Protein backbone atom coordinates (compact mmCIF):
# COMPACT_ATOMS: atom_id res chain seq x y z
CA UNK A 1 0.00 0.00 0.00
CA UNK A 2 1.36 3.43 -0.94
CA UNK A 3 2.35 5.74 1.88
CA UNK A 4 -0.47 8.33 2.08
CA UNK A 5 1.96 10.92 3.47
CA UNK A 6 4.15 10.97 0.37
CA UNK A 7 2.81 13.87 -1.64
CA UNK A 8 2.45 13.02 -5.32
CA UNK A 9 3.86 15.20 -8.12
CA UNK A 10 2.74 14.50 -11.68
CA UNK A 11 5.55 15.67 -13.97
CA UNK A 12 4.59 13.98 -17.22
CA UNK A 13 3.68 15.65 -20.49
CA UNK A 14 0.15 14.33 -20.39
CA UNK A 15 -2.00 13.99 -18.54
CA UNK A 16 -0.77 17.01 -16.62
CA UNK A 17 -1.92 18.36 -13.24
CA UNK A 18 -5.23 20.20 -13.08
CA UNK A 19 -5.74 23.55 -11.36
CA UNK A 20 -8.18 22.95 -8.47
CA UNK A 21 -10.82 25.20 -10.03
CA UNK A 22 -10.71 23.05 -13.18
CA UNK A 23 -11.28 19.89 -11.14
CA UNK A 24 -14.12 21.59 -9.28
CA UNK A 25 -15.83 22.50 -12.55
CA UNK A 26 -16.40 18.81 -13.25
CA UNK A 27 -18.15 18.41 -9.89
CA UNK A 28 -20.88 20.80 -10.97
CA UNK A 29 -24.31 19.36 -11.87
CA UNK A 30 -24.48 17.82 -15.33
CA UNK A 31 -25.92 20.10 -18.00
CA UNK A 32 -28.14 19.12 -20.91
CA UNK A 33 -26.08 19.86 -24.01
CA UNK A 34 -29.02 21.58 -25.73
CA UNK A 35 -29.80 23.79 -22.73
CA UNK A 36 -28.95 27.52 -22.94
CA UNK A 37 -26.40 27.28 -20.09
CA UNK A 38 -24.27 24.74 -21.96
CA UNK A 39 -24.77 26.29 -25.40
CA UNK A 40 -23.48 29.61 -24.05
CA UNK A 41 -20.47 27.87 -22.51
CA UNK A 42 -19.78 25.92 -25.69
CA UNK A 43 -19.77 29.11 -27.74
CA UNK A 44 -17.35 30.70 -25.28
CA UNK A 45 -15.01 27.68 -25.44
CA UNK A 46 -14.96 27.76 -29.23
CA UNK A 47 -13.97 31.44 -29.21
CA UNK A 48 -11.32 30.95 -26.53
CA UNK A 49 -9.83 28.06 -28.48
CA UNK A 50 -9.41 30.32 -31.51
CA UNK A 51 -7.29 32.67 -29.42
CA UNK A 52 -4.98 29.86 -28.27
CA UNK A 53 -4.73 28.40 -31.78
CA UNK A 54 -4.09 31.84 -33.23
CA UNK A 55 -6.76 31.50 -35.87
CA UNK A 56 -9.87 33.26 -37.03
CA UNK A 57 -11.12 29.97 -38.47
CA UNK A 58 -12.93 27.01 -36.98
CA UNK A 59 -11.49 24.92 -34.16
CA UNK A 60 -13.39 21.64 -34.28
CA UNK A 61 -14.01 19.83 -30.99
CA UNK A 62 -14.23 16.04 -30.73
CA UNK A 63 -14.83 13.78 -27.74
CA UNK A 64 -11.51 11.98 -28.22
CA UNK A 65 -7.88 12.09 -27.25
CA UNK A 66 -5.37 14.08 -29.27
CA UNK A 67 -4.82 10.95 -31.36
CA UNK A 68 -8.47 11.17 -32.41
CA UNK A 69 -7.86 14.70 -33.67
CA UNK A 70 -4.85 13.38 -35.58
CA UNK A 71 -7.00 10.65 -37.10
CA UNK A 72 -9.58 13.24 -38.14
CA UNK A 73 -6.91 15.02 -40.18
CA UNK A 74 -5.85 11.81 -41.91
CA UNK A 75 -9.45 10.69 -42.48
CA UNK A 76 -10.33 13.99 -44.16
CA UNK A 77 -7.16 14.68 -46.14
CA UNK A 78 -5.59 11.35 -47.12
CA UNK A 79 -6.72 9.62 -50.29
CA UNK A 80 -6.12 5.88 -50.66
CA UNK A 81 -3.31 5.08 -53.05
CA UNK A 82 -2.03 8.65 -53.20
CA UNK A 83 1.21 9.80 -51.55
CA UNK A 84 1.31 11.54 -48.18
CA UNK A 85 4.58 12.60 -46.59
CA UNK A 86 5.29 12.31 -42.86
CA UNK A 87 8.18 14.33 -41.44
CA UNK A 88 8.98 12.50 -38.22
CA UNK A 89 11.56 12.87 -35.45
CA UNK A 90 10.16 10.62 -32.72
CA UNK A 91 7.46 8.32 -31.44
CA UNK A 92 4.54 10.62 -32.16
CA UNK A 93 5.78 11.32 -35.67
CA UNK A 94 5.58 7.58 -36.17
CA UNK A 95 1.91 7.76 -35.22
CA UNK A 96 1.31 9.87 -38.33
CA UNK A 97 2.87 7.06 -40.38
CA UNK A 98 0.62 4.45 -38.77
CA UNK A 99 -2.48 6.58 -39.36
CA UNK A 100 -1.63 7.29 -43.00
CA UNK A 101 -0.98 3.60 -43.60
CA UNK A 102 -4.31 2.72 -41.93
CA UNK A 103 -6.17 4.99 -44.37
CA UNK A 104 -4.45 3.55 -47.41
CA UNK A 105 -2.02 6.32 -48.26
CA UNK A 106 1.20 5.63 -50.14
CA UNK A 107 3.12 6.91 -47.16
CA UNK A 108 6.52 8.54 -47.57
CA UNK A 109 8.28 8.43 -44.20
CA UNK A 110 10.94 11.13 -43.92
CA UNK A 111 12.49 10.33 -40.55
CA UNK A 112 15.02 12.54 -38.80
CA UNK A 113 17.22 11.11 -36.04
CA UNK A 114 15.44 11.07 -32.68
CA UNK A 115 16.56 14.07 -30.65
CA UNK A 116 17.15 16.23 -33.74
CA UNK A 117 14.83 18.85 -35.18
CA UNK A 118 13.34 18.36 -38.62
CA UNK A 119 15.26 20.53 -41.08
CA UNK A 120 13.07 22.55 -43.45
CA UNK A 121 15.61 22.31 -46.29
CA UNK A 122 15.69 18.53 -45.95
CA UNK A 123 11.88 18.45 -46.00
CA UNK A 124 11.96 20.52 -49.19
CA UNK A 125 14.37 18.03 -50.72
CA UNK A 126 12.09 15.15 -49.81
CA UNK A 127 9.13 16.91 -51.42
CA UNK A 128 11.15 17.58 -54.56
CA UNK A 129 12.10 13.91 -54.74
CA UNK A 130 8.54 12.68 -54.19
CA UNK A 131 6.33 14.39 -56.73
CA UNK A 132 2.60 14.28 -56.18
CA UNK A 133 2.65 14.76 -52.40
CA UNK A 134 -0.23 17.06 -51.54
CA UNK A 135 -0.26 16.71 -47.74
CA UNK A 136 2.58 16.78 -45.19
CA UNK A 137 2.11 15.61 -41.60
CA UNK A 138 4.55 16.63 -38.89
CA UNK A 139 4.92 17.43 -35.20
CA UNK A 140 5.40 20.68 -33.29
CA UNK A 141 6.54 19.27 -29.94
CA UNK A 142 7.88 15.72 -30.04
CA UNK A 143 7.40 14.68 -26.42
CA UNK A 144 9.31 11.42 -26.88
CA UNK A 145 12.52 13.43 -27.25
CA UNK A 146 11.75 16.96 -26.02
CA UNK A 147 12.38 18.50 -29.45
CA UNK A 148 10.28 21.46 -30.60
CA UNK A 149 10.30 21.88 -34.38
CA UNK A 150 10.12 25.15 -36.28
CA UNK A 151 6.60 24.72 -37.65
CA UNK A 152 6.74 28.02 -39.47
CA UNK A 153 9.75 26.99 -41.59
CA UNK A 154 8.27 23.55 -42.23
CA UNK A 155 4.99 25.11 -43.38
CA UNK A 156 6.87 27.38 -45.76
CA UNK A 157 8.75 24.42 -47.22
CA UNK A 158 5.53 22.46 -47.73
CA UNK A 159 3.73 25.35 -49.38
CA UNK A 160 6.61 26.06 -51.79
CA UNK A 161 5.99 22.55 -53.13
CA UNK A 162 2.22 22.94 -53.30
CA UNK A 163 1.40 20.77 -50.29
CA UNK A 164 -0.83 21.36 -47.28
CA UNK A 165 0.77 20.88 -43.86
CA UNK A 166 -0.83 19.34 -40.78
CA UNK A 167 0.94 19.90 -37.47
CA UNK A 168 0.50 17.78 -34.36
CA UNK A 169 0.46 20.41 -31.60
CA UNK A 170 -0.99 18.10 -28.96
CA UNK A 171 1.64 18.90 -26.33
CA UNK A 172 2.93 22.18 -27.73
CA UNK A 173 -0.30 24.17 -28.01
CA UNK A 174 -0.41 26.68 -25.18
CA UNK A 175 3.20 26.01 -24.15
CA UNK A 176 5.20 27.34 -27.11
CA UNK A 177 4.09 29.86 -29.75
CA UNK A 178 2.53 28.42 -32.90
CA UNK A 179 0.06 31.00 -34.26
CA UNK A 180 -1.75 29.16 -37.02
CA UNK A 181 -2.86 32.01 -39.26
CA UNK A 182 0.34 34.05 -38.91
CA UNK A 183 2.52 31.03 -39.72
CA UNK A 184 0.18 29.85 -42.49
CA UNK A 185 -0.33 26.36 -41.06
CA UNK A 186 -3.19 24.55 -42.78
CA UNK A 187 -4.25 22.36 -39.84
CA UNK A 188 -3.28 22.25 -36.18
CA UNK A 189 -4.44 19.31 -34.09
CA UNK A 190 -4.29 19.23 -30.31
CA UNK A 191 -5.69 17.66 -27.15
CA UNK A 192 -7.04 18.90 -23.84
CA UNK A 193 -4.76 17.09 -21.40
CA UNK A 194 -1.43 18.87 -21.74
CA UNK A 195 -0.68 22.61 -21.72
CA UNK A 196 -4.40 23.44 -21.81
CA UNK A 197 -4.65 22.12 -18.22
CA UNK A 198 -7.83 20.08 -18.73
CA UNK A 199 -8.50 16.34 -18.39
CA UNK A 200 -7.92 13.91 -21.27
CA UNK A 201 -10.82 13.35 -23.62
CA UNK A 202 -11.13 16.34 -25.96
CA UNK A 203 -9.43 16.51 -29.34
CA UNK A 204 -9.20 19.62 -31.53
CA UNK A 205 -8.57 20.19 -35.22
CA UNK A 206 -8.41 23.59 -36.92
CA UNK A 207 -8.56 23.14 -40.70
CA UNK A 208 -8.21 26.33 -42.73
CA UNK A 209 -10.18 27.01 -45.91
CA UNK A 210 -7.74 25.09 -48.11
CA UNK A 211 -7.86 22.00 -45.89
CA UNK A 212 -11.66 22.09 -45.73
CA UNK A 213 -11.82 22.42 -49.51
CA UNK A 214 -9.62 19.35 -49.98
CA UNK A 215 -11.72 17.37 -47.49
CA UNK A 216 -14.95 18.37 -49.22
CA UNK A 217 -13.58 17.26 -52.60
CA UNK A 218 -13.53 13.67 -51.38
CA UNK A 219 -16.49 12.95 -49.12
CA UNK A 220 -17.00 9.56 -47.50
CA UNK A 221 -14.62 7.25 -45.72
CA UNK A 222 -15.33 8.79 -42.32
CA UNK A 223 -18.33 9.59 -40.16
CA UNK A 224 -17.74 10.78 -36.61
CA UNK A 225 -14.54 12.58 -37.62
CA UNK A 226 -16.01 14.17 -40.75
CA UNK A 227 -14.92 17.80 -40.55
CA UNK A 228 -17.82 19.22 -42.56
CA UNK A 229 -20.36 17.62 -40.25
CA UNK A 230 -18.75 19.32 -37.25
CA UNK A 231 -18.20 22.62 -39.08
CA UNK A 232 -21.88 22.76 -40.01
CA UNK A 233 -22.88 22.34 -36.37
CA UNK A 234 -20.37 24.74 -34.86
CA UNK A 235 -21.18 27.49 -37.38
CA UNK A 236 -24.81 27.57 -36.36
CA UNK A 237 -26.05 30.48 -34.29
CA UNK A 238 -25.89 29.47 -31.52
CA UNK A 239 -23.24 26.80 -32.17
CA UNK A 240 -24.14 23.14 -31.90
CA UNK A 241 -22.37 19.79 -31.89
CA UNK A 242 -23.46 17.05 -34.30
CA UNK A 243 -22.96 14.47 -31.54
CA UNK A 244 -23.33 14.56 -27.78
CA UNK A 245 -20.31 16.54 -26.55
CA UNK A 246 -18.28 15.56 -23.48
CA UNK A 247 -20.18 18.02 -21.33
CA UNK A 248 -18.13 17.68 -18.13
CA UNK A 249 -14.86 18.02 -20.00
CA UNK A 250 -16.10 21.11 -21.83
CA UNK A 251 -17.02 22.60 -18.44
CA UNK A 252 -13.47 21.95 -17.25
CA UNK A 253 -11.91 23.30 -20.44
CA UNK A 254 -13.97 26.48 -20.19
CA UNK A 255 -12.44 27.21 -16.78
CA UNK A 256 -8.92 26.26 -17.93
CA UNK A 257 -9.11 28.50 -20.99
CA UNK A 258 -10.35 31.29 -18.73
CA UNK A 259 -7.20 30.90 -16.61
CA UNK A 260 -5.03 31.10 -19.73
CA UNK A 261 -6.85 34.23 -20.87
CA UNK A 262 -6.45 35.80 -17.43
CA UNK A 263 -2.71 35.07 -17.32
CA UNK A 264 -2.29 36.25 -20.91
CA UNK A 265 -0.95 33.99 -23.65
CA UNK A 266 2.42 35.76 -23.87
CA UNK A 267 2.86 35.38 -20.10
CA UNK A 268 1.96 31.70 -20.40
CA UNK A 269 4.70 31.24 -23.01
CA UNK A 270 7.20 33.11 -20.82
CA UNK A 271 6.35 30.92 -17.82
CA UNK A 272 7.01 27.82 -19.89
CA UNK A 273 10.26 29.32 -21.15
CA UNK A 274 11.51 29.87 -17.60
CA UNK A 275 10.47 26.39 -16.48
CA UNK A 276 12.28 24.86 -19.45
CA UNK A 277 15.38 27.00 -18.93
CA UNK A 278 15.55 26.05 -15.23
CA UNK A 279 15.21 22.34 -15.98
CA UNK A 280 17.91 22.46 -18.67
CA UNK A 281 20.21 24.41 -16.33
CA UNK A 282 19.73 21.74 -13.66
CA UNK A 283 20.54 18.95 -16.11
CA UNK A 284 23.72 20.71 -17.24
CA UNK A 285 24.80 21.29 -13.63
CA UNK A 286 24.39 17.56 -13.01
CA UNK A 287 26.47 16.93 -16.15
CA UNK A 288 23.58 15.11 -17.82
CA UNK A 289 23.44 15.36 -21.60
CA UNK A 290 20.35 17.03 -23.02
CA UNK A 291 18.80 15.01 -25.81
CA UNK A 292 19.06 17.05 -28.95
CA UNK A 293 21.57 19.43 -27.39
CA UNK A 294 20.83 22.82 -25.87
CA UNK A 295 17.62 23.63 -27.73
CA UNK A 296 16.42 26.78 -26.01
CA UNK A 297 12.97 26.38 -27.52
CA UNK A 298 12.32 22.99 -25.90
CA UNK A 299 9.95 24.35 -23.28
CA UNK A 300 7.41 21.52 -23.24
CA UNK A 301 9.46 18.64 -21.86
CA UNK A 302 13.15 18.23 -21.06
CA UNK A 303 14.72 14.91 -22.05
CA UNK A 304 18.06 13.99 -20.48
CA UNK A 305 20.31 11.05 -21.23
CA UNK A 306 20.84 8.89 -18.17
CA UNK A 307 24.33 7.76 -17.16
CA UNK A 308 25.45 4.50 -18.74
CA UNK A 309 26.64 3.35 -15.32
CA UNK A 310 23.10 2.93 -13.96
CA UNK A 311 19.99 1.01 -14.95
CA UNK A 312 18.06 3.85 -16.54
CA UNK A 313 14.78 1.93 -16.55
CA UNK A 314 14.77 2.11 -12.75
CA UNK A 315 14.85 5.92 -12.58
CA UNK A 316 11.15 6.71 -13.20
CA UNK A 317 10.01 3.83 -10.97
CA UNK A 318 12.23 4.81 -8.04
CA UNK A 319 11.30 8.48 -8.31
CA UNK A 320 7.62 7.57 -8.25
CA UNK A 321 7.67 4.87 -5.56
CA UNK A 322 10.24 6.42 -3.23
CA UNK A 323 9.75 10.15 -3.66
CA UNK A 324 6.25 10.50 -5.14
CA UNK A 325 7.46 12.22 -8.30
CA UNK A 326 6.15 10.76 -11.55
CA UNK A 327 8.25 11.49 -14.62
CA UNK A 328 8.39 9.59 -17.91
CA UNK A 329 11.13 7.34 -19.20
CA UNK A 330 12.11 6.77 -22.79
CA UNK A 331 9.84 5.31 -25.46
CA UNK A 332 10.70 2.86 -28.21
CA UNK A 333 14.40 2.90 -29.03
CA UNK A 334 15.07 5.28 -26.10
CA UNK A 335 13.53 3.05 -23.45
CA UNK A 336 15.79 2.91 -20.40
CA UNK A 337 18.13 5.53 -21.86
CA UNK A 338 16.48 8.85 -21.03
CA UNK A 339 14.31 10.57 -18.44
CA UNK A 340 11.66 13.10 -19.48
CA UNK A 341 10.59 15.90 -17.15
CA UNK A 342 7.54 17.83 -18.33
CA UNK A 343 6.74 21.47 -17.69
CA UNK A 344 3.72 22.12 -19.91
CA UNK A 345 0.54 23.29 -18.25
CA UNK A 346 -0.16 23.78 -14.57
CA UNK A 347 3.45 23.83 -13.38
CA UNK A 348 5.45 26.29 -11.32
CA UNK A 349 8.98 26.84 -10.07
CA UNK A 350 8.78 24.60 -7.04
CA UNK A 351 7.47 21.67 -9.08
CA UNK A 352 10.78 21.83 -10.96
CA UNK A 353 12.84 22.24 -7.78
CA UNK A 354 11.18 19.24 -6.13
CA UNK A 355 11.57 17.10 -9.25
CA UNK A 356 15.26 17.90 -9.65
CA UNK A 357 15.82 17.15 -5.98
CA UNK A 358 14.15 13.75 -6.38
CA UNK A 359 16.21 13.08 -9.52
CA UNK A 360 19.44 13.86 -7.66
CA UNK A 361 18.57 11.48 -4.83
CA UNK A 362 17.48 8.79 -7.27
CA UNK A 363 20.70 8.98 -9.27
CA UNK A 364 22.76 8.69 -6.10
CA UNK A 365 20.74 5.73 -4.87
CA UNK A 366 21.35 3.95 -8.18
CA UNK A 367 25.08 4.53 -7.92
CA UNK A 368 25.70 7.70 -9.92
CA UNK A 369 27.88 10.33 -8.24
CA UNK A 370 25.44 13.25 -8.29
CA UNK A 371 26.23 15.96 -5.75
CA UNK A 372 23.00 16.75 -3.83
CA UNK A 373 21.75 20.26 -4.45
CA UNK A 374 23.80 20.90 -7.58
CA UNK A 375 20.91 20.74 -10.00
CA UNK A 376 18.50 22.33 -7.56
CA UNK A 377 20.80 25.34 -7.12
CA UNK A 378 21.11 25.80 -10.87
CA UNK A 379 17.33 25.74 -11.30
CA UNK A 380 16.86 28.17 -8.42
CA UNK A 381 19.36 30.57 -9.96
CA UNK A 382 17.31 30.75 -13.17
CA UNK A 383 14.20 31.65 -11.19
CA UNK A 384 16.08 34.15 -9.03
CA UNK A 385 17.57 35.90 -12.04
CA UNK A 386 14.14 36.06 -13.72
CA UNK A 387 12.89 38.12 -10.82
CA UNK A 388 9.24 37.29 -11.54
CA UNK A 389 6.80 34.89 -9.89
CA UNK A 390 6.73 31.49 -11.60
CA UNK A 391 4.00 29.85 -9.56
CA UNK A 392 4.21 27.45 -6.69
The DSSP letter of residue 286 is T
Mean pLDDT of the chain: 96
pLDDT given at position 391? 67
* Class in CATH terms, 31-261: alpha beta
The DSSP letter of residue 107 is E
pLDDT given at position 293? 58
Counted residue by residue, the chain has a size of 392
Q: Which of 392, 178, 358 has its CA nearest to residue 275?
A: 392
How many CA within 13 A on the CB side of residue 371? 9
Strands, E assignment, the chain: 9-10, 60-62, 83-88, 106-111, 135-139, 141-142, 147-148, 164-168, 187-191, 203-205, 301-305, 325-326, 328-329, 338-342
| 1 has a pLDDT exceeding 70 | no
Range(s) for CATH 3.90.1150.10 in the chain?
Answer: 9-16+264-386
Range(s) for CATH 3.40.640.10 in the chain?
Answer: 31-261
Cβ atoms of 176 and 182 within 8 Å: the answer is no
- Cα 363 to Cα 42, 144, 310, 328, distances in angstroms: 47, 21, 8, 15
Q: Are strands 135-139 and 147-148 parallel, antiparallel or unpaired?
A: unpaired
pTM of the model: 0.96
> pLDDT tens across 94-150, in order?
999 999 999 999 999 999 999 999 999 999 999 999 999 999 999 999 999 999 999
Q: Phi, psi (5° rounding) for residue 189?
A: -120, 145
- The whole-angstrom separation of Cα 99 and Cα 41 is 33
> pLDDT tens across 318-346, in order?
999 999 999 999 998 999 999 999 999 99
Cβ atoms of 301 and 279 within 8 Å: the answer is no
CATH topology of domain 9-16+264-386: 3.90.1150
- The whole-angstrom separation of Cα 214 and Cα 76 is 8
- The whole-angstrom separation of Cα 364 and Cα 371 is 8
- Cα 210 to Cα 168, 184, 217, 367, 383, distances in angstroms: 18, 11, 11, 56, 43
> pLDDT tens across 183-241, in order?
999 999 999 999 999 999 999 999 999 999 999 999 999 999 999 999 999 999 999 99
pLDDT band for position 294 (cuts 50, 70, 90): low
- Is residue 269 helix, strand or coil? helix
Q: Which of 109, 110, 82 has its CA nearest to residue 98?
A: 109
Cβ atoms of 292 and 340 within 8 Å: the answer is no
Q: Are strands 141-142 and 147-148 parallel, antiparallel or unpaired?
A: antiparallel
- The whole-angstrom separation of Cα 61 and Cα 45 is 10
Amino acid sequence: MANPYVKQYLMTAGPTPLPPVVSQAMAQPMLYHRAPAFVEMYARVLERLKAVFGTAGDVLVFASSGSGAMESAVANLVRPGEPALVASCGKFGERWVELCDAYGARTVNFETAWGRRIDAAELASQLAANSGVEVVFTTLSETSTGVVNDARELADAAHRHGALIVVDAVSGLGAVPCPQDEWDIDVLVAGSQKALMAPPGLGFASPNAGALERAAAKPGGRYYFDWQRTVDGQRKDPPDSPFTPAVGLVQALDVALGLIAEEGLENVYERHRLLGAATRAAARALELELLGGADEGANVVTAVRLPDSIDGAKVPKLMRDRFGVTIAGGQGRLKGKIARIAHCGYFGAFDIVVTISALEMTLRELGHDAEPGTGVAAAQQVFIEAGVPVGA
